[in-house]
Amino acid sequence: MNDTSPQPLRIGVLGAARITELSLVGPARTTGHRLVAVAARDRSRAEAFADEHDVERVVDSYADLLADPEVEVIYNPLANGLHGPWNLAALAAGKHVLSEKPSASNAEEAAEVLQAAAKAGTVFMEAFHYLFHPVTRRLHEILASGELGELRRVETLVAIPAPGDADPRWSLPLAGGAVMDLGCYSLHAVRMLAPWAGGAPRLVCARGGERPGAPGVDEWLDAELEFPGGATASARCHMAYDGLQMSCRIVGSQGEAFAPNFVLPHRDDRVVVRTADGERTERLGTRSSYTYQLEAFAAHIRRDAPLALDAEDALATMTLIDEAYRAAGFEPRPRTAFAG
C-alpha cells in the first residue's frame, strides 16, 4: 500500500525567541512537522535552542537559513521591526513564510511584502492563530446563524501587564507599541466580522497614551470603528494593564456572545451566549490555537486547502493600524534601518 499522507513541512526558524516554544515547537511536535534548522545572532543561543527543542541543526546566520535548500518554510518570530525585512528576504529566496504579526512595520512595507509574495508564488501568512481555534469559529457561527439578530456592536480588548523597560516591544526603532503587539488582534478580530456587517469597518476615531520614557511609543490605544451596515466597534489595547484581558463581545439585536479569552483560548475556552431564552456556556476545547494554525497552514501548502489569511489581509490590517496611530496622534512605525 502506498503512503498517501502529506509530507511534513520542513521549517527553518529565524532567531531563538521565547514565543517559538508555544507558537511552533509544540504544534510541530503534535502535528509531525520538522524543525530542520535554526539561526540566531548568537550561535550559542541557537545551539541551546536546538538542543532544548530538538531542532535538527544550527546554521550560522539568517542568510544561511534562507539559502538552505532543505528549508521550505521560514518562521519569523523576530522583533516587530524585523518582520518586514526578513519576510521580504525569505520570499525573495522562494520560501513559504509564516510570520508573527504584524507582517511589517507599516502599510508601505506591508505592500512590499504583498508584492513579493505575488512575485514569489509562495505562501505567506500572518500568524493570527486565534482565527483557527473553535472559540473564534464558534463566535462566527453563532453570529451567522441569526441567533443574535442583527449585529449592533463589537467590543474587543487585548491587554497585558507591562513588559520590562528594556523589552523591544517598547522600542520605536524596532516598531514597538501596544497596537503592534496587542491592538493588531483587537483590530483584526473586528475586521473579520465584515461578512455579517455589510463590509469592512472604517476607523471613526482613536485616542491613546504614550509610554513614559519611550517617546512615540503607545502604551495604550482605543479605536472606534463603524461598519457599512451601521454596527459599531471598539478595539482597545493596553500594554501596561493591571492584569491580562483578551476578550471579545459580539452584541446583536436579540442577544450577545462573549469570549473571555479569544486570543489564548487554551487558557479559557468559553463562549457565553445570552439571549431572551437564557444564558448558556459552551466549551470549545483547550487544544492550542497555534496547533490549529499550523495544521491549516500545512494543509494549504500540501493540499491547497482554503486559507483565511494571506499577504493581502496583512496589508489591510497594517493599513488600519497606521490609520489608528495617526488618529490617536502617533506616527506609524518607522521601518527598521538595521536588518542584518
Q: What is the pTM of this model?
A: 0.96
Q: Are 108 and 318 in contact (CB under 8 A)?
A: no
**102 and 239 together in one domain:** no
Q: Are residues 188 and 264 in the same domain?
A: yes
Give the CB-side neighbour count of residue 78, counting CA atoms within 13 A: 29
pLDDT at 27: 98
159 and 94, same structural domain?
no
pLDDT tier for residue 340 given thresholds of 50, 70 and 90: low
Task: Note whether residue 230 is domain-resident.
Answer: yes
The length of the chain is 340
CATH code where residue 115 lies = 3.40.50.720
* Residue 201 identity: P
Confidence of residue 5 (pLDDT cuts 50, 70, 90): low
Whether 336 is in a domain gets the answer no
- Same domain, residue pair 116 and 146: no
Mean pLDDT, residues 284-294: 98
Number of domains in the chain: 2
In this prediction, residue 108 carries a pLDDT of: 98
- Packing angle of the helix pair 311-327, 107-120 (nearest 10 deg): 170
115 and 152 in a single domain? The answer is no
Give pLDDT tens digits for 108-152: 999 999 999 999 999 999 999 999 999 999 999 999 999 999 999
For the chain, how big is the Rg over CA atoms in Å? 20
Q: Flag whether 183 is in a domain.
A: yes
Q: Classify residue 4: in a domain, yes or no.
A: no
- What does DSSP say about strands 151-159 and 73-76: parallel, antiparallel, or unpaired? unpaired
Q: Does the pLDDT of residue 338 top 70, yes or no?
A: no
Q: pLDDT by residue (tens digit) across 69-86?
A: 999 999 999 999 999 999
Residue 4 has pLDDT above 70, yes or no: no
Is residue 270 a part of any domain in this protein? yes
Give the pLDDT confidence score for residue 6 in this predicted structure: 82
The Cα 116–Cα 145 span in angstroms is 38
pLDDT at residue 3 in the model: 43
pLDDT 10s digits, 152-204: 999 999 999 999 999 999 999 999 999 999 999 999 999 999 999 999 999 99
Together in a domain, 279 and 151: yes
**43/235 Cα distance (integer angstroms):** 40
Range of the domain at 181: 130-287+323-328
